[in-house]
Structure 1
Amino acid sequence: MPSAHPFLPREQATNDSPPPHSPLPLRLGLSDDSTLHTALDALLLRRFASGEQPFARAASLQQVRPEAGLLPEDATVLYSFRDSDRSTVLAEGEGFTVEAERWRRGAQVTVVAVDDELAEQVLARAVEGAELEPEPQPDDVEMGFWHLSPRRGPHRTRRRIGASPWEEVRPNYSAPVAEAVDRLMKLTPDDVTGRLLLLHGPPGTGKTSALRTLARSWQDWCRVDCVLDPERLFNDPGYLMDISIGEEDGDGGSGKWRLLLLEDCDELIRGEAKHAAGQALSRLLNLTDGLLGQGRNVLVGITTNEDLERLHPAVVRPGRCLARIEVGPLTRAEALGWLGRGHPAAASV
């Protein structure tokens, strides 16, 4: 007798009657746009959605050790596919199926099983020791980076970035800016009044550098996340809800504040934004001091190249901003002091 196909339910391998554990009718199909990765996803989904293995667990890994197999030792590989960008392996064991998808910077491991305890155990064995933790550097600070993934929805990636102490970078800013940032660096949760932090000024004046330094200064009480697609964040209510009200991953339940950084948001907050951006501006304001932000320790930091006069009045109204700092260039005297009068470029300042 020929052996049963591994991805037909055991009953369907020998007859056409639906399996008794199948909770819903199921039909999976592939189109011209499907890839071999998609096909392997569908095979895993078949076992889960049919009810054969109705419990699932998954884990995302940021940096994976090159030698990590991402499979438990008792799994048998059924399918494997590799291309220039990523690889996918589908394997099974007694009562479970595991898919390990790997790309250059990370991996996703998904397990379906006959019960939840088994799914949890298999996942733990598959990813044990697989993630590579970078060696922390004295000037590094951990930041999160959010984006809306077509496959995984809202997704947060953690990275350690270089951030010098404020005392070292302070001379790079004009006196009014440095004094304003001095006050920010000393801020504690008890000092928070407004929820919006606005840095505006010409390109190249150090707005982003100041925010990196702020992340370092606040790291004991505030988790800093950069949103890579802010225009999508405020035009997609589901994405916004996941970030602002969703599960607080990554802070260990410590109750830290969160600072969401939105860079170069000129179109969102300029004077004509209410007309041009539709509901996006309203949702931003609602996050800072409306119902959406109630009970959430969330700050929003925005950088823009716009002049203050061109910003929407609702954004800069009194009480909304925790700080509003114009980051401008150094004065001539400050630039000469920064260069040193003997510097070859001093004559052109």
Structure 2
Amino acid sequence: MSAQHSANGTPVPIAASLPAPVPIGVSADVHRTLPIQVQLDDSDSPFDVVDALALARFTSGEQPWCRSTSLQRVKGEATLLPPGCRVVRSSREKNRSALLAEGDGWTLKVTRWVGHGGSKHADVTVTAVDDGLAERVLAQAVDDAEEPPPAEGDVVLMGFWHLTGHGPSRTTRQISAETWPEVRGNYTAPVADSFDALMKVRPEEVSGRLLLLHGPPGTGKTSVLRTLARSWRDWCRMDCVLDPEQLFSDPAYLLQVALATSDDDEGDDARRWRLLLLEDCDELIRGGAKRATGQALSRLLNLTDGLLGQGRNVLVAITTNEDVERLHPAVVRPGRCLARVEVGRLTGEESARWLARDAGAGIDGAAAPGPSTLAELYALRRGRSPLLPSPAPAADGLYL
């Protein structure tokens, strides 16, 4: 493969011509219609070149068989290369790398990246002259390359969706999650009573498909959803959509997220429920959403109980700081929500009790500043004014 440019710098097509036999069962006419045409300009990267080269022999028919897999917890010392291979291309950036290797009758591409929280992921693809060879090379490359699955304990596995330049992408991350009895005291009594019932819901009891948590910032809406993921983890997985505005403006992105199955990296069957978490979606569900966001609100409702949601075990959890009176009536109508909870401040008495229960805090419960959010109470427990920003310890758990 060689790059060519015209005199004015405009990129011109690059042709990769590889001598290749016509594979069995493929006519010569069909084979000749599969040249590789690649255009490169200054917006492309070495990663794009590695991708193109990895497909060259597969496209030409020289290596018409392909096997691939994704790894979610790659060991630091794993090379992901089979014995006796030759590395022919390698590209590295800060948090990702790609390399191309080859052997007798096969080509291998490895793409690595660092996910949320430093987790190491990789995609491994092998093309070969026959299917058995592709399978053997892939097995050698990934043998003992992945860390064992984490013990359930205090962590749950959460997926994170986002839209990239190459389409929708999902990565996973282990997140800490306490049990409901451990965090129940973080919520005012009426809210805790509502969550008591929600934590016990089983799949056969699901009625509405929407979970709506609304209330002031810092009251623990995100935190309780992490605990919910732990309570439901035997029948439901949680996926956080990092760009919900893109999800409901791009039908292709929405369709892929809605139809995605859970057997790609967790070994679950296709009937497992999924809970899509959309945080701070004020614009999407407030009263004027239809005018402000066009079809976004309609697509959300279609996902929960319209044609798109039919036959899919999908729940949608939305957090917002809006008052319920300002939400769109179509969102809060009876029958649409599995749960609709206003997560408010703890009362003055509850705030004092929350501070007093930690004997090591060194704070008199009587010093509680009246009704308080969870974020304000954690700031007081650290001995700082809740009005002054300060880095929060990881153990505080992202109480948003």
Say if 1:199 and 1:327, in contact at 8 Å, map to a contact too: yes
Which position in structure 2 is the counterpart of 1:291? Answer: 307
Q: Is the 8 A contact 1:36 1:81 kept in 2?
A: yes
Equivalence for 1:331: 347
Bigger drift between 242-251 and 262-271 goes to: 242-251
Counterpart mapping for 1:37-56 below 5 A: 37-56=47-66
Aligned position for 2:187: 173
Q: Which residue of 2 aligns with 1:122?
A: 137
Which position in structure 2 is the counterpart of 1:60? Answer: 70
Correspondence for 1:106 among 107, 115, 121: 121
2:49 matches 1:33: no
**1:149 aligned partner, one-letter code:** T
Structure 1: give runs of 5+ residues left out of the alignment.
1-6, 13-17
CA distance in 2, matches of 1:274, 1:29: 41
Cα offset, 1:258, TM superposition: 1.1
Distance in 2, matches of 1:187 and 1:65, equals: 37
Matched position secondary structure for 1:106: strand
- 1:257 is displaced (CA, Å) by 1.2
Which of 316, 333, 356 is the equivalent residue of 1:300?
Answer: 316
SS, match of residue 316 in structure 2: strand
CA distance in 2, matches of 1:187, 1:335: 29
Please say if residues 23 and 50 of structure 1, whose CA atoms lie closer than 8 Å, have aligned partners that are also in contact: no
Residue 231 of structure 2, aligned match among 217, 223, 227: 217
Output the TM-score relative to the length of structure 1.
0.90
Hey, what does 1:15 align to over in structure 2? none
The answer to whether the Cα contact below 8 Å between 2:212 and 2:318 also exists between their aligned partners in 1 is yes
Match of 2:18 in 1: 9
Say if 1:80 and 1:273 are closer, same or farther in 2 by CA, change over 3 A: same
User: Could you say what secondary structure the match of 1:315 adopts?
Assistant: helix
Q: Which runs of 5+ in 2 are unaligned?
A: 1-15, 22-27, 115-119, 371-400
Which stretch has the larger CA shift, 62-71 or 286-295? Answer: 62-71
State the shift of 1:209 in Å: 0.7
Find the aligned partners of 2:329 and 2:30 in 1 and give their Cα distance: 63
1:186 is aligned to 2:200? yes
Q: 1:244 is matched with which residue?
A: 258
Cα displacement (A) at 1:32: 1.8
Partner of residue 310, structure 1: 326
What SS is found at the alignment partner of 2:352? Answer: helix
Q: Of 75, 78, 81, which residue of structure 2 is paired with 1:71?
A: 81
1:82 to 73, 86, 92: 92
Post-superposition shift, 1:8? 4.5
Kindly provide the CA deviation profile for residues 172-206 of structure 1, in whole angstroms up to 9, marking residues without a partner as x.
10001000000001111121110101000011000
Where does residue 3 of structure 1 map in the other structure? none
The answer for the alignment partner of 2:165 in structure 1 is 150
Q: Deviations over 1:63-86 (max 9, x none)?
A: 321211111114222222334333
Superposed displacement of residue 295, structure 1: 1.1
SS of 2:274's equivalent in the other structure is strand
Counterpart CA distance in 2 for 1:137 and 1:253 is 18
**Residues in 2 aligned to 1:116 and 1:279: alpha-carbon distance in whole angstroms:** 45
**Alignment partner of 1:340 is 2:356:** yes
Which stretch shows the higher mean deviation, 295-304 or 131-140?
131-140
Q: Does 1:260 align with 2:276?
A: yes
Residue 136 of structure 1 is matched in structure 2 by 151
Q: 1:332 and 1:120, CA in 2 relative to 1: closer, same or farther beyond 3 A?
A: same
Aligned length: 337
TM-score for both structures, normalised by structure 2: 0.79
Matched, 1:196 2:216: no
Over 3 Å counting, the alpha-carbon distance change for 1:279 and 1:116 in structure 2 is farther
Query: Greater shift after overlay, 103-112 or 196-205?
Result: 103-112
Q: Quick check: 2:35–2:59 contact (8 Å CA) kept in 1? A: no
Shift of 1:345: 6.2
User: Contact conserved, 1:9 with 1:19, CA < 8 A, in 2?
Assistant: no
1:322 paired with 2:338, answer yes
The change in CA–CA distance for 1:203 and 1:32 in structure 2 (over 3 A counts) is same
Task: Show the counterpart of 2:249.
Answer: 235
Partner SS state of residue 80, structure 1: strand
Task: Letter of the 1:116 partner, please give it.
Answer: D
Letter in 2 for 1:60: S
Q: Do 2:280 and 2:319's aligned partners in 1 also have CA atoms closer than 8 Å?
A: yes
Out of 163, 166, 176, which is 1:162 matched to?
Answer: 176
**Which segment drifts farther, 252-261 or 199-208?**
252-261
Q: Which residue of 2 aligns with 1:278?
A: 294
Identity of aligned residues (%): 61
Q: Name which of structure 1's ranges 75-84 and 263-272 shifts more when overlaid on structure 2.
A: 75-84
Task: Tell me if the contact between 1:177 and 1:325 (Cα under 8 Å) persists in the aligned partners.
Answer: yes
Q: CA offset at residue 137 of structure 1?
A: 5.7
Q: Distance in 2 between matches of 1:258 and 1:251?
A: 14
Stretch moving more, 47-56 or 209-218: 47-56
- Cα-Cα RMSD: 2.2
Q: State the one-letter code of the partner of 1:346.
A: A
